[in-house]
Amino acid sequence: MRIITVWIFLAVVMPLNLLADNYPKKDFDSLVVAVKTMPDDIEKYNLMQFLAVNHPDLDIVEQYSIMALRLAKKLERKDLAANSADIAGWCKFQKRQYLEAGQYYKVACQLHELTGDSVGKAHSLMCLGNSYFALNDYQKGMDNAMDALRIFARAGDSSRVGMVYRGLANSCIDFRLYKTAENYFVKAMDLDMRTGNLKNLARDYYGIGLCISNDARVYDTLRRNIAKDYFLKARYLSSETSDYLFLVNENFDLALHYAEMSVLTGDWNLADSSVICYEHCKKYIELMKFKEFDENLELVKAAHSVLAGNYSHAFELLDSFSAKTTLSFSQRQILSRIYFLFYVSTKDYQKWEEYIEKEMILRNRLYVSEYGVKLDVKSEITDIDIFLSEYDNALKDNSRHIIETKKHNEFVILIWIIAVSGSCLIIVLLVFFFVKDRKRNKILLSQHEEILSANTELAQLNLEITVQSEELQSQTEEIERQKNFLCMANANIMCNLESAGELQQSIVPSKAFMKELFEDSFVLWRPLDIVSGDFYWATKIGGLKFVAVADCTGHGVPGACLSMLGTAVLNGVVAKINPETVNAGLVLDLLRDRIVTALSSTVDGDKVHDGLDIALCIFDPKEKKVSYSGAYRPLWILKDGAVTEIKPDRMPIALDKDHVGNFSDHEIPLDGSESLYMFSDGIIDQFGKTESGRETKFQPRRLKELLVKIGTENADFQRAEIEKTIDNWSFGVPQTDDILLIGISAKTF
């Protein structure tokens, strides 16, 4: 039960939204420290509740919700204790500790009852019902869900009525009643559209996509693509509302969807999409420390092993996963989907049939029919309970279909008896007339000979078709061999690229070294491919600190090779300079001379067009100044809320007969209030969509506005905010070039 009642979190934290707005969005660590020093009063409770509601780490949420519950009881505030118990129950539920979750929800129900909060009690009843659903106690689950639905309906609380619909829909998914579940999700979606609740609307889209995906036939690509569109809509809204828990589920199901479609359609670009969604899912799991979901990622790894042709590793992962005794119903469904991909890819259809027969024993659970009867008993002629009749209708439709099928079969048997009897009678009459009339017998014999001749011609055509079929089979096998060869070659290339990426990572300065040089600094480096044409370099000689940002010609492997050459040459140049007389322009002159010499010695100098653009700074802490020189890459200085651009020379570090002069050197005094930024053109050239839907580049103007807005914050905050802004800007648009940006605060260099 991977998704049941994840939707309830918004309803839990709704009373606390005002509290969250009263606090500035600062580092959570400082709030944790503040809690430890505060006395046990209402302010301490508010701060602990804020951490429980807003912290992305599930362990921290659990810790502070329980602490807040204890403090509320100590303060004799039953209303606050009820809210904390709800959050603690939610956290236990996400960790699949359903018994503990039920205990906290029972406590919340009792506290809401004591305070006279009927709506709060209904909410806790619904959550308690979902806990019973998760424990396969559907009788108690339905009792609590129906009690909650009646209270919400009487109170006119549309948002929470939609929450009940989603809980019932998920119980339907457990019984594979996908059409009924989809109807409940649609009802919830109508209510959430009216109230404008984007977070709940995302969960409705996700549930509809799950129903369509599970109900689609194997090769029904149309319905599978419809399910994918719902998943993408849900992921977009979840990203807009920072609903990380559902981003885990949405990226997980998209990764499985793309893997299945890649196998069924042969489109290997979809395999890349599956890997990207897997990485997004893994990122959000690490962000939330949602370790309970880690085992599901093993299923995606098995699917990717199937796509890569590594069938032995895939079977090993599937076999170890299926041996677990604690698998939920939804996990077994997903496991069956990956087994299907495995057996289809290996063409072992007999094994697939054996696996299906084994799984049918687990799927035909007796409580499915019992659940339908209980729903029928619960159904009353009221506006609240009328929706439950869809369960009973589904079961009645199945029974009616069985009866109609039986009648149809009996009718078909009767028709066959009549047909056979009539045929026998006709044969007797034909024999009689054949004996009676010799002439007619000769005519029939002639017709028989004609039929034999036609059969001979048909046999010849059948032989030709068989030969053609064998040729097609041979061609198919050859195509399969070539495809396997290409898969292996691609795997080898990717392995080599990953090794090259690790090598490139090892030659750039580490984060620890950059922090040692510049205490308040950050590096944002996003290669377009596994290896990058952008690189950064830093070192310290004597009392001087050197740092550079370079953009080599191209990206990927060619750019990475040139970046390694640039790093080596920079190290060689600064090793021989005189710290007393060096300046940034002189270093770029020496760098250009050696790059040109290296490239000209290997190929015809007239054909060399490779090179690099670079911004280089030499910091002198003693003199409180910086020396800058640039080849097509500027230096931006943020001071007093304004960005000043130090323009570079418009000539590259390359063989360029039109530009042979020396590079300019700019010496800039610093008073400690400045922030300096160097970057490649990848970030300002990144395409994204404006509000009008038109695609355009990020452009320097937007980057300057962003730096002015966040320039007074610390380096880690600036890096996170820049990353978030670029991700939101380029949502749905692929990255176009390597991205590199370095920020340094002058007060710490």
**How far is the C-alpha of 186 from the C-alpha of 165, rounded, in Å?**
9
Tokens of 278: 């897997």
Contacts of 211 (CB under 8 A, 6+ apart): 169, 173, 178, 179, 181, 182, 185
- Structure confidence by residue, pLDDT tens digits, 497-515: 666 566 767 788 998 899 9
In this structure, of 232-241, 434-443, 594-603, the range with the lowest mean pLDDT score is: 434-443
In the predicted model, what is the mean pLDDT of residues 19-36? 60
Residues 740, 680: contact at Cβ < 8 Å?
yes
The CATH number of the domain covering residues in 1-155: 1.25.40.10
How far is residue 382's CA from residue 150's CA, in Å, rounded to a whole number?
10
| pLDDT for the residue 662 | 92
**Average pLDDT score, the chain:** 79
- With cut-offs at 50, 70 and 90, classify the pLDDT of residue 299: confident
pTM of the model: 0.43
Structure confidence by residue, pLDDT tens digits, 430-451: 777 766 766 666 776 777 777 7
Mean pLDDT, residues 293-301 taken together? 79
Give the confidence band of 147 by pLDDT, cuts at 50, 70, 90: confident
How far is 197 from 204, CA to CA, in rounded Å?
11
For the ranges 27-41, 195-209, 636-650, the one whose mean pLDDT is highest:
636-650
Are 184 and 165 a contacting pair, CB within 8 Å? yes
CB contact burial 541-577 (16+ within 10 A = b; e otherwise) = eeebbbbbbbbbeebbbebbbbbbbbbebbeebbeeb
Are the C-beta atoms of residues 81 and 69 closer than 8 Å to each other?
yes
Closest CA to 508 of 676, 717, 204, 740: 740
What mean pLDDT do residues 734-738 have?
88
pLDDT band at 602 (very low <50, low <70, confident <90, very high): low
Assess whether pLDDT exceeds 90 at residue 407. Answer: no
Residue 679 has pLDDT above 50, yes or no: yes
How far is Cα of residue 658 from the mean position of the Cα atoms in its chain? 49
pLDDT for 536 equals 95
- Pairwise CA distance, residues 125 & 682, whole Å: 52
User: Residue 618: phi, psi to the nearest 5?
Assistant: -120, 110
Residue 186, pLDDT above cutoff 50:
yes
Sheet containing strand 635-639, edge to edge, reads: 521-526, 739-745, 675-679, 635-639, 642-646
Mean per-residue pLDDT, 453-473: 78
> What pLDDT score was predicted for residue 362?
54
Q: Would you state the structure tokens that stand for residue 382, as one six-digit string?
A: 């009221």
Return the percent helix, strand and coil in the chain, to nearest 5.
70, 10, 20
Reported confidence tier of residue 134, pLDDT bands at 50, 70, 90: confident
Top-confidence residue, 486 or 236: 236
Average pLDDT, integer, range 69-98: 85
Residue (of 196, 217, 198, 218) closest to 206 by Cα position: 198
Q: What is the mean pLDDT of residues 219-244?
A: 87
State how far the Cα of 749 lies from the Cα of 743, in Å rounded to an integer: 11
Mean pLDDT calculated for residue range 511-520: 90
Question: 44: pLDDT confidence band, cut at 50, 70 and 90?
Answer: confident
pLDDT above 50 (res 374): no
The average pLDDT across 352-379 equals 49
What would the pLDDT profile of 479-500 be if each residue is shown by its tens digit?
A: 888 887 777 766 666 665 666 5
Nearest to 95 by CA among 293, 326, 300: 293
DSSP letter for each residue of 218-253: TT-HHHHHHHHHHHHHHHHHHHHTT-HHHHHHHHHH
What is the percent of the chain where pLDDT is above 70?
82
**Tell me, what's the pLDDT at 674?**
93
pLDDT of residue 489: 65
Question: How far apart are alpha carbons 159 and 189 in whole angstroms?
Answer: 10
pLDDT value at residue 490: 67
On the 0-12 / 13-18 / 19+ scale of CB atoms within 10 A, 582 is buried
Is 624 a residue whose pLDDT tops 60? yes
Q: What is the pLDDT of residue 396?
A: 46
C-beta neighbour count of 414 within 10 angstroms: 10
Cβ-proximal residues to 143 (8 Å cutoff; 6+ apart), any chain: 129
Token digits for 40?
A: 């046990």
Residue type present at position 347:
K
Structure tokens at 593: 């001379």
For residues 22-47, average pLDDT: 73
Higher pLDDT, 260 or 722: 722
Q: Residue 292 pLDDT more than 70?
A: no
- Scanning the structure block, which residue is given the tokens 């800039």? 668
Query: For residue 21, is pLDDT > 60?
Result: no
Q: Which residues contact 662 (CB under 8 A, 6 or more apart)?
A: 585, 589
- 557-590: per-residue pLDDT in tens? 777 788 888 898 999 899 888 888 899 999 999 9
Q: How confident is the model at residue 170 (pLDDT cuts 50, 70, 90)?
A: confident
Higher pLDDT, 441 or 727: 727
What long-range pairs does 138-143 form, CB within 8 A, spacing at least 24? 138/171, 138/367, 138/370, 138/371, 138/374, 139/374, 141/171, 142/371, 142/374, 142/375, 142/378
Q: CATH class for domain 509-748?
A: alpha beta
What are the helix (H) ranges across 308-381? 311-322, 329-346, 349-363, 367-378
Specify the pLDDT at position 611.
86
Residue type, 143: D
What residue spans define the domains of the chain? 1-155, 509-748
Written as one letter, the residue type at 525 is W
For residue 625, the cross-strand partners are: 620, 669
